[in-house]
Structures are given as structure tokens and as C-alpha cells.
Chain A
């Protein structure tokens, strides 16, 4: 019972972090049709910037400044890089962001080196939030979930209640129309791209000290957020949320479970030895299979529900 609750909370907090990342990706994709392959690299930038700022000034300023910095870099990249590739079509845009992800990782290594950097959790947030029976739930995890929920609510409010949000929603499906109505659509695109990157940066600020801050962090989370976006349904924020939570919980639970098909069979009295057919598969514990679960989910969704959990566009 305790195990389930704590794992569930951990899964939710990881899932919300995934959502922080994939929401920016979904927004950019829905708006501009561009799949930002470098999105996870902006996540990494956010973590590194937060590290650099927090050791000089402190965590709380970093929380504000780092995402803004990342957002500005994103906007500049869109204005001077992506925009000139736009005329060649979607594949060159994707390739541009692909190359960018590569280069960003290299530049981070250039400045901060290849080893992980000690980006610390601020002492005010370091400690238990509450204790459930014998397991403590860290305060910082709670803080992560709070920020993620705040972010989700503010995106929703901005998109539905503000003027710029309405323009964004309109430009989502009819960019030429919106432009001929007098709105500066290229500027909106730049804002959305920068904003999406800033969200990724914010996720990096929060996640970098909870997990590890190193050059490989982009690759680790990069492919998973693509799975989230496809599973949730291309262009659907609600779908991205659902898929993030689903995958977050799935992986967190899986990592903690040590049962395998073999243990199941043995519980029913069957004997499994190394000679049994299919032994390599049978002896795999769920925790060993955990890394491939998101991708298995991807394959299953594609076979049985190709438009994703809540997708509306074919993408």
C-alpha cells in the first residue's frame, strides 16, 4: 500500500516533468509544424544555466533567469536559423534542429566539460515533505509537481484568455489567414518557439538537480518525449499530459518491480530452468524491461490506435 502510493507519487512527479518538456514540443509542433529535435538540448541548457547562476547568485534567481535565457536563445535560433530553412520544407527544418541538438551538446561540453556538474538542490527545499508510514517523500519532488501544475495552468490561461493566446490558437490552423488579418505571424512563431524552449529550460532548472546534470541528460530524455508526443497524439496538449503521466508512472513502477514471467510460473508450481525454451525472455524482470516500456507502448499505440490517445490531426 505504502509502496504503491509512494511509487505513484514519484511516477506522477516524473510524469509532470515529462509533461513540462513535451508541452513545449507539442506547442511548437502544432504551431509551426516543426518537430524541435533540439528540445531536450534546451532542457539541458536550462539545467546548466541554472547551475551556473545558482552557484553564483542562488537557486531562486536561477529559477527565473535561466528559463528566460533559454527562451531568448530559442527565439534567436528561430529568427536566424530556422526561419531561413523554413522555405525548404519540413524535413530540412527537422534536420536543422537535429544538427542543432548535436551542436548544443558539444558546446555545453566545451564550456562545462564532460563530467556531471554538481547542481545542488537548494537547502530550503532539501528534506522530507511528509512521511508515509516508513518512506519519506522529498520536499523537492513536491516542489517539482507544484511548478509543473502552475505551468500547466498558466499555459491554459494564456492560450484561452489572452489576446495573444487567441492569435496563437488561430495561427495554429490558419497561419496565412491570421497573417492577412494583420498579425505578425513570423513574430508569433518566434515567440512560440522561444516560449516552448523556455518551458524546456524551466524543466531543466527543476529537473537538473533532482536528477543528474550532465551532457548525456538530453539524450536520455530526448527520445522519450517524442514517444510522449506520438502516444498522446500529435498536436494535443491534453494527450501529451495523459501520455506523460502514463509513461511516467509506468516506468517508475516498472523499475521497482523485480518480478518476471518466471516468478509468475514458479508461483504456480512450474519449474523453469536455463534449458527451458525462451528462458532469456522468461527470466527478465519487469525492472529490466523498464527501459523499453515507452517504446513498446509506442509500437502498440501505432498498431491499435494510430492517431494517439487524443490526437486530432494525422501529423
Chain B
């Protein structure tokens, strides 16, 4: 890079033009998505994905950018949701002026407030201790939710009607499609906000804190303060997602501030990939799909999600985003042909093993949970008698074949993959020298 001819602000990699294209594309996808997936349930799904995306991105400010593992992030989104829904109820009763469009901001401010409050205690420590404290805080708030039914609504939670107030340009937020565009709007500006954060001094310093907290002290920064501020901002965006959730579902319950929901966002964000800015967005899509759609097909979806998560932790800790980027890099250097056959082989074998595993799990679930309804069940379109030996034999055989095949093919895949990547890294190194 030639600094002598640089007169104004530096362009950032990728090029300035690239930045406009990416954000423009993002906006276009948001605008046209409901026209492609236009059924009622699809739009509901898209709306939900939208709120979880904001939640996941806010969570990644802590985990991916700051190295802070939190087990209690739902506190900020949940409390934001509660404040938002109370605001909606107050507004629709005429006691306060707050148009629905601005409600997510109420959630955001509430999230930020609690970030200031709880963050002071939680950021006193770091690492594993910080993680445990966040768990303690979320359990505290969750337990409080049963103690204060006036605010938390007890078992039934708090409900609301999002159609209130003056119609603005004909928008009532009654129909789901209008809610979707509200979510899309807030998703767009929140994403810009959170991305902008990564390009600020604090955003970069918190990266340094992630990499080497001790060194950061010796360049003049108080690591605790950096973490505290980042958590407050993260709480703000989490609160926005909570507010949107309140509008979308028109109900907020104690589950919104639970350790379960916190664990969920951790799972989705990690699966998506914490090392890339867009990772949590992928995680949100996968996560909502698995929890909403998969639960319609099988009772064992939580088991699958858990196993999927463990497999990712062990073999692909960089997440789906990382997998995509690695593959893109191989393609960029034109070496995809070298790994293509092995990749196909190992994936095919894995798929076979997976089918066998699913068969076993589903049959087992049926036996233990549904046996009152008889031992027959529908499996991949076939009627199967779980009490008989044949289906079990078939399932176990498929599983065994798949597992053996996978074991056999993974070696050659690993070899090819390793070779190709070493070559790429060499090429990168030589290009810079």
C-alpha cells in the first residue's frame, strides 16, 4: 500500500465499492425474501429469524469479538422484551405515547440499563469465572420472575395487542408481513450499528482484549472497563431484539429471561461461527430452522441439536461460517478439483451413518415415549414396527456401514485437505514476502 499518495481516509479491505454492494445486497434480500417465501408460516419464520439474528449478533459482540463467554445473555433481551411489552400496554391504554415502530428502542434502552447494572458485577471477572457469574445472574433474574408477578406476569406471562394507536401511512402492524418489515428495518440498522462498532477504537481494543488481556493493560487500557462498555452496548442491541420479539409474539413470559434461552443463543451463534461477523446470522437461520421446523418432524430434535453442537465444537470450532470461508478459499485458489472426490466420498458416508443413527434414535424414542399408541411408526415414509427385530437390524446395519465407510474415507480426505491448505498458506506467504 502506498502511503505517500494517500491524502484522505484509507479504504478498507474489501474495496469501498465492495462495501456498498454487500450492504445493498443485504437490503435487497431483506426486502424481497417474503416475496420468495410467501406462505404465512414462512413469513412467521422469517420474522423469527430476524429477531434471533439481532440477538445472535449482539451475543457475538461478547463472545466472538471480546472472548467473553456468557451463559446469561437472555437477561438483556428478556428484560428488554418485558419493558417493551409493558410500554405497549401503557401506550395502547393511552397512558403514554409510544408508536409501535419505536418500541424496539424501548427494549434497547432497557437492555442497556440492565447492562449497566449487571455488567458492573459480571465484568469484574473474566474467563470461566465470568461465564459462571452470568449463569448466576440469569438464574437470579429468572427466579425473580416468579416473585414479582405484577411485572413478569407469573406463569402466563404478559400479553399485549400490537395493533394500537394511530395508523401511520396505513400501517397497523396487524398483518404478519408488516411486522416482518418492521423487524427487517431494525435488523438492517442494528446490523449496521454492530458492524460499525467493529470499526471503532473500542471495537478493536476489545479484539485485543480477546487475544491478550494482559498485554492490553500495557498499552494503556483498563480491560475491565473495555469489557464493561462492550457489554453495555451488547445489552442495548439484545434489548432491541427482545422488543421485536414482544411485538412479534405479543407475549413475553419468564422463558424470555431463562438460562435455556441463553443457552440457545450460545448454541446457535457458535454453530454459525463466532470468528466471522456474519456467523451469528447463519447460526440464527440454522437455529430457528432446527427448533421450529425440525420439532415438527421428530421429538428427538433437541438430541440432534446437542450432538450437532458437540460435533461442531470438536471438529469445526470455527462454525458453519468458517467452513464456508475455508471452502471459498480453496475454490479461490482453484484447488477445489483436488479435494472434490474425497469430499464427496466422506460426505456420502457420513450421510449414510446419519440415516442409520436417525433410524435408531427415532425408533428408540418411539418405544419409550409413544408405546402407548402401539409399536408402529412412520419412518422416512415407511411404516415400521419398532417391536420387531427387522427394522432394528436394518437400522443398525446402515449405521455400521456408514460409520465404517466414514472412518475409511476420512483419512484420504484429511490428507487431501491438509495438502491443499498447506499449499495455499505457502502461496499466501510467498505473495507477501
Contact = CB atoms under 8 A, between A and B. Distances in A.
Interface stretch (A52-60, A62-70, A108-116, A261-269): A108-116
A138 interface: no
B128 interface: yes
Interface in A96-112: 96, 98-100, 102-103, 106-107, 110-112
A295 interface: yes
Q: Give the secondary structure class of B's interface.
A: helix
A88 to B, nearest CB: 5
Contacts of B144: 292
A106 B303 contact: yes
Contact of B140 (A292, A303, A306): A292
A291 B127 CA distance: 26
> Which of under 10, 10 to 19, 20 to 34, or 35 or more describes the interface residues of A?
35 or more
Given A94-B69, A103-B310, A226-B135, A113 B369 contact: yes
Given A91-B67, A226-B135, A227-B136, A295 B143 contact: yes
B121 A303 contact: yes
Contacts of A315: 125, 127-129
A166 interface: no
Contacts of B128: 29, 33, 35, 90, 94, 234, 315
Contact of B365 (A35, A96, A110, A303): A110
A188 interface: no
Q: Chain B interface: which size bin? A: 35 or more
Contacts of A99: 267, 306-307, 309-310, 313
A102 B314 contact: no
A37 to B, nearest CB: 9
Contacts of B127: 90, 315
Interface in A232-249: 234
Interface in B119-138: 121, 124-125, 127-129, 131-133, 135-137
Given A35-B128, A103-B306, A223-B259, A291 B314 contact: no
A111 B124 CA distance: 42
Interface string A278-315: 00100010001101101110110011001000000011
A88 B67 CA distance: 13
Contact of B136 (A106, A113, A230): A230
Contacts of B309: 95, 99, 102
A295 B364 CA distance: 39
Contacts of A288: 147
5 closest Cβ pairs, A-B complex: A295-B140, A102-B306, A106-B303, A103-B306, A99-B310
Interface of B: 67, 69, 71, 121, 124-125, 127-129, 131-133, 135-137, 139-140, 143-144, 146-148, 150-151, 259, 263, 266-267, 270, 300, 302-303, 305-307, 309-310, 313-314, 317, 361, 364-365, 368-369
Given A85-B314, A110-B303, 4 more contacts: A35-B132, A106-B300, A106-B306, A110-B361
29 contacts: A81-B310, A94-B131, A95-B270, A98-B71, A99-B306, A99-B309, A99-B310, A102-B302, A102-B305, A103-B303, A103-B306, A103-B307, A106-B303, A107-B303, A110-B368, A223-B135, A226-B132, A226-B135, A226-B136, A229-B132, A280-B148, A292-B139, A292-B144, A292-B147, A298-B140, A299-B137, A302-B133, A306-B124, A315-B125
